[in-house]
Amino acid sequence: MSEARFQRVVLVGRYQTAGVGDTIDDIARELSARGHEVMLDSETAANIQSRTLPSIAPEAIGDHADLAIAVGGDGTMLGLARGLAGRGVPLLGINHGRLGFITDIPVEAWRDALDAILRGHFVSEHRTLLSARALRNGEVIWQDIAMNDVVLQRSSRSGMIELEVHVDETYMYTQRADGLIVATPTGSTAYALSANGPILHPQLRGFAMVPIAPQSLSNRPICLPDDVRIRMRVVECREPRVSCDMQVFEDLQPGDDIEVECAPQSVEFLHPGGYSFFATLRSKLYWHEFPIIDRRRRQRDD
C-alpha cells in the first residue's frame, strides 16, 4: 500500500509531560523525510514552542488531516477522538503517559510501528461512542459524546445519589450509590474497571452499566446491547453532576433525566500489524505474572 493515503499528518501531544516535545520533533522529522505534510495542532505548537511546523486549530483537523497521531496518555487520545468523531480521520496513539490502554504503541517503539503503519501493515478497528443528554421538563439543557463513559454521580461534598433507571422505557431499578457509570467497550478498562465492572472486548456491540459504591450489594454491573436507550432520573441528591469522558456538567437538579445511547459516530483506531487486545491486557494488567505467593511457592518447589 502506498503512503499516499496518509499524506497529511497532524501531531497532538500531551505537552505537560517531560520529553513529549522532543518526541514530537523526532516524529515530525521522520514524517517530513518520507514526504508527508506534517502539522501540529495549535495548542501543542504553542506549548512546545515549535516554529518550524505549521499549526492547525483543533476543530479544523477533521477537514485537513489524513492521519492524526496522539503522543501522550489515554487522555490525549480521548480528547482527539472526541474531536474527530465521525470525521473519517484514523487515529494512532503513541504512549508517552503511564498506563496507555488506547495509546498502545510504547514511545520507544514508535519508529518501527510508524514505519509499518505508513507502509500499510496495520490493524484497523472502529470504536463506538456514547451520546448523552440532560433533560429538564422535557427540554435539553446539555448534550455531549463520550468515547469512554458517561458518569452520573454525586459531588464530593454531598451524600449518596438516588437514581431511577429505565431501559427503553422499561423500569429497571431504583438505587442509591455514589453514582452510575455507562461505559463503552473502550471505557470498560477505565473508571468502570476500578468500580469492578466487566472488561468488554472493543469489538463487542454493547456497553456496561456499573454502579459506583452502591448502598445495596445486590446492585451489580450489567452489560446491555448497543441498541437500547438508558434513562437515569435524579430522584434525590444535593449536588448531582454528569460527565462525558471527565468533561463535567454540574447544573443538574433532582427530577432531571440523563439519556444515554450509542452515538451515530465512530472513531477509527490504527494499530501495528499483529496487534492483540489480549496482549494489551496482559501487559497493562500484569496477567502474565504469577501472584507473589505463587511465585514464592514455585521458587521453593524448584
What are the structural domains, with CATH classification, of the chain? 3-120 (3.40.50.10330), 130-264 (2.60.200.30)
- Cβ pair 111, 30 in contact under 8 A: yes
Q: Is 90 exposed, middle or buried (0-12, 13-18, 19+ CB in 10 A)?
A: buried
Contacts of 243 (CB under 8 A, 6+ apart): 150, 151, 153, 249
Catalytic residues: 74
pLDDT of residue 1: 43
List alpha helices for 14-104, DSSP H. 20-33, 42-48, 61-64, 74-84
Q: Which residues of 178-200 are buried (b: 16+ CB within 10 A; e: fewer)?
A: bbbbbbbbbbbbbbbbebebeeb
Count, residues in the chain: 302
Cell 473519517 belongs to residue: 88
For the chain, list the strands marked E by DSSP: 8-13, 37-41, 55-56, 67-72, 91-95, 105-106, 122-136, 139-146, 149-153, 161-167, 170-177, 179-183, 206-212, 222-225, 230-236, 241-244, 247-249, 257-272
Question: For residues 34 and 66, what is the distance between their CA atoms, to the nearest angstrom?
Answer: 15
Q: 201 CB contacts (<8 Å, ≥6 apart)?
A: 185, 277
* pLDDT value at residue 34: 94
Q: What is the pLDDT of residue 285?
A: 87
Residues of the chain with pLDDT under 50: 1
